[in-house]
Amino acid sequence: MEFFPILPLKMSGQLSRQCTHSKGDEVADNSNLDKLLKKYDRPGPRYTSYPMVPVWKSDFGHEEYVRALENSSKKPDEPLSIYLHIPFCRQRCWFCGCNTTTLKKEGTHNSYLDIVDKELNLAADLLSKRRRVSQFHWGGGTPSCLSNENTVKAFEIFSRKFKIADNAEVSIELDPRITDEERIQLLKSLGFNRLSFGVQDFNADIQTAIGRNQDEKKTVELYRYCRDEGFQGINFDLIYGLPKQTLGLFKDTVRKTIDLGPDRIALYNFAYLPDSKPHQRLIRSEDLPSPSEKIELFLTAREMFLESGYKLIGMDHFVLPEDELAIAQSEGRLRRNFMGYTVKASEDWLGFGMSSISYVDNSFAQNLSTLDLYQKKIEEGSFAVYRGMRLSEDDIIRQYLIADLMCNFKIDITELENKFKITFNKYFGDTLEALKIFQDDGLLIEEADAYTLTDMGKIFIRNIAMAFDSYLKGNDLKVQFSRTV
């Protein structure tokens, strides 16, 4: 079992923490880690996609998406991944950065699914064959706010047009506050095999500070019921940097999570962006942890998960060592897309519903993000795509490199050179100086045919990926990113 020990710290103006590298046996002392945090803690992309969403083009619309689907139809035996966006929530949580609406009427939900069905028919007609689906994910919003009847309806409109593979990963995001045992039974009967619990933080005062009152007992009971029903793919979403979070309180949430033992844990950085997310203004800025306190929350939680036996996936995901993601990472097979880390990723994925994102034939496409405009476009017989991008050869090369870095903690020079017929040092000549700085800072180790991240480097993985992002070089992007640490 692999561990990345980080010793406890004390806060006294500086971060007092020690990191040991598994490669090179280097040790970063307290002052060095503090220096690195000050140097690299900056806003940056999360790289759920490359190129990142803000550089996609508004002139990529219906016609461009149709061409991409037509090209995809030439590969009828290739599996697809499908994402369904259910934007509805009973109420908006103040911390949320997702595209949601608080429409509660069941009739609205039913009408929305009718529109999704029409969008699905548009795509299925172009794909020309009942394609096999290897990954089917429901996100939101709150997919579990649908009634049982509409849950069945949503599943059936897809299963009529696509063949969901027997070994497909079928997953859904759950709000434990509104999910009961009957719903779990229904999901199980439909074939869902992965559940993601929106936990955020178990503490009641912190829940109140983010406009979300979630009873810890109900969450735990629902989790245990799902375990009793045989679910083996359960994820907890936790967020650090929330208002009123202290180190002691968050350690309590982490301990409770470890004791419950979900298969996977996503530890997200709270992005406080009140200018672009007006509902976040309901959060009192004075209640937020300071930047140094926020970093301490992350590093302490990271240490606790790793010391308890969880394996690190990417910068901020953790899985049990027997989980297929951990096995895939050890074998270099791990993949990542907008739906998260997976071993089932197909070359193309289709997004349905408002604001959903597709990746087809090396092209990104995103639907309109307001409900009325999305519905209007689909009713007119057109896809609701309002921006997207067809990737260049350079984009594809950099996309592959960044994805491998984020998934497998390395840059495989030989693989890149063989796959894309390039010479690494020549192609990425303008990045070599940055790679040397990362090495000097103890974040990377150069090997004969690869660069490998150190344990310290895994903390700053987004910063390393940014060095290969051609769209960040010389561009004044007026975009608010979350901080990299």
Compute φ and ψ for 193, nearest 5 degrees. Answer: -130, 0
Domain assignment present for residue 136? The answer is yes
User: So what's the pLDDT on residue 281?
Assistant: 67
Domain membership of residue 275 (yes or no) is: yes
Query: End of a domain among 316, 349, 382?
Result: 349
Distances (CA, A) of 434 to 438, 439, 443, 444, 455: 6, 9, 11, 11, 18
Structural domain includes residue 457: yes
Residue 441 is assigned to a structural domain of this protein: yes
CATH number of domain containing 103: 3.80.30.20
Do residues 219 and 283 both lie within one domain?
yes
Is 466 inside a domain boundary? yes
Distances (CA, A) of 275 to 93, 140, 177, 212: 16, 22, 29, 21
Same domain, 341 and 401: no
Residue 359 lies in a domain: no
My answer on whether 319 and 427 are in the same domain is no
What token pair was written down for 48?
A: 């759920």
β-pairing, 264-269 with 194-200? unpaired
Same domain? For 339 and 408 the reply is no
List the structure tokens of 349.
């994925």
Give the CATH number, domain containing residue 397.
Answer: 1.10.10.920
- Does residue 86 sit in the same domain as residue 28? no
CA distance 72 to 94: 39
Q: Quote the number of domains for the chain.
A: 2
Q: What domain range is 276 assigned to? A: 55-349
Mean pLDDT by 10 residues, the chain (485 residues): 28 35 42 84 87 95 97 91 91 67 76 97 88 93 92 96 94 94 98 96 91 91 97 94 95 98 94 72 84 91 97 92 93 83 84 96 96 96 98 97 93 97 97 97 95 93 96 72 73
Q: In this structure, are 100 and 240 located in the same domain?
A: yes
> Do 148 and 166 have their domain in common?
yes
Residue 366 falls within a domain, yes or no? no
Q: Are 314 and 428 within one domain?
A: no
**Domain closes at, from 329, 349, 369:** 349
Helix, strand, coil content of the chain in percent (nearest 5)? 40, 20, 35
Quick one: 136 and 248 in the same domain?
yes
What are the tokens at 392?
């260049």
Look at residues 149, 169, 152, 168 and name the one whose alpha carbon lies nearest to residue 160.
152
Query: pTM higher than 0.85 for the full model?
Result: yes
Check whether residue 33 and residue 101 sit in a common domain.
no
Domain-ending residue, one of 315, 349, 383: 349
Whether 42 and 59 share a structural domain: no
Of 89, 123, 84, 117, which Cα lies nearest the Cα of 104? 89
- C-beta separation of 398 from 385 below 8 A: no
> Does residue 141 fall inside a structural domain?
yes
> Do 176 and 67 reside in the same domain of the chain?
yes
**For residue 12, what pLDDT is reported?**
31
Note whether 222 and 183 are within 8 A (CB): no
What was the pLDDT predicted at 149?
96
